[in-house]
Each structure stands twice: as structure tokens, then as C-alpha cells.
A and B are shown apart, each in its own frame.
Chain A
């Protein structure tokens, strides 16, 4: 089945130690998104790509960066994680830049900060 795969499912890192989360997709979708979701809250969009066109949300901290080397892969880099960055990180894709297109989500990476 075509899908969105996030690795690892659980990631533990130390305060201030850089960490990278990965996402791959077999759906061949143009658009990829990264969300942060804290406990019992709605997902919060960090950034998204339309093909290689990168779009940063205005309130996404500078500590968060992303790379999309090709259609299939997208990475989330957290340069110096703080305790407040502990959350579930969700990757999603959509087939084109249309408002009626649903998003397809991976199962997320739960990030813990020691």
C-alpha cells in the first residue's frame, strides 16, 4: 500500500543535542507538511513544501529547519532541542495544491527530551 512512513516512531534526545526526524512517502505527492502536536492539542503546522518550494509558518521557531532532497523524502531538523519541543511530530502529504485535497498522515515520531 502507498503510504507515509516516519522514522523513528520514538526518539529520545538530550537537551540541546541536534536531532533529525525523517519522513518518506510512496504516494508521489507534490506537497509535504510537518506538524507539531502536543498532548491533547490540535496539530500545529511548522512548514510545508510544494515540490521544492519551501514555506515556513511565521511562528515556527528558528530552531526548526527542514530539507526535502527529493519528492519522496523530507527531514525535520531541530538544532538545539529544548524541553518545550517534546511533542509528537507528524508528517503529511497531499497530491496537489488544491484546497479540496485531503492530507495523508504518517504515524508520527514522538520526541522526548532528557
Chain B
């Protein structure tokens, strides 16, 4: 079985400050991990994914995430927050089996303060 825990349902940062959104996972198979972003009244958009290889993954909009197996973590970071980053962020882990079924975390709503 797989699960995802996102610490902090709401995170507030000042514009220009570091963004850090935390995600810890549990998986019975080597994990494939994803971060998605959801803007109000829109669907989810892929930010980045980790499958195999390099553990530091770069995504769109200046975001990156580092896979740390020893800590079972996949935290999302961005060096400098922009007002347009205000959205909800979901971490997800891909389940075992042939289909691409994911388990989503409960989401973290990011607020950027001017």
C-alpha cells in the first residue's frame, strides 16, 4: 500500500522568500513521486516528477524537489516566491501494479504575502 503525508494544510510566505512544502511518502514498491499544482477552479497541473535517476528534480515555474529515500521525503522548494505561486499543491505517489493510479496527499494551500 502507498500513502502520502503533506505537513501543513496552509503555508504562508512573503513574496521573494523561500517556499518549502513538505511531503513524506510510504510505498510498498520503489516510489514514483509527483507534485501537482491546482489554481482556483482549475484542474491539476504537473509541476515535476521523480521516477528513477537523479534525486534532485527540476520542474516548471522554478520549482524543484529532492527525493530522499532515507527520509522517505520528497519536499518541494522554490528559492523565491512569486505572487503567482499562490495555489494548492498536491504531492502524489504512484501505486503498485500496471496502471498509473496515484494516491494524493491532502494538499497544501500556499499563500504569498506581498
Contact = CB atoms under 8 A, between A and B. Distances in A.
A111 to B, nearest CB: 13
Contacts, number: 71
A2 interface: no
Per DSSP, chain B at the interface is loop
A99 B94 contact: yes
Ranked nearest first, the 5 interchain pairs of A and B with the lowest CB-CB distance are: A105-B43, A42-B104, A100-B51, A99-B94, A102-B46
Nearest to A53: B99
Interface residues of A, number: 29
B106 A42 contact: yes
A101 interface: yes
Per DSSP, chain A at the interface is loop
A92 B43 contact: yes
Interface of A: 4, 6, 9, 31, 40-43, 45, 48, 50, 55, 90, 92, 94, 96-108, 110
Given A102-B34, A107-B43, A48 B99 contact: yes
Interface residues of B, number: 29
Interface in B1-51: 9, 32, 34, 36, 41-46, 49, 51
B101 A45 contact: yes
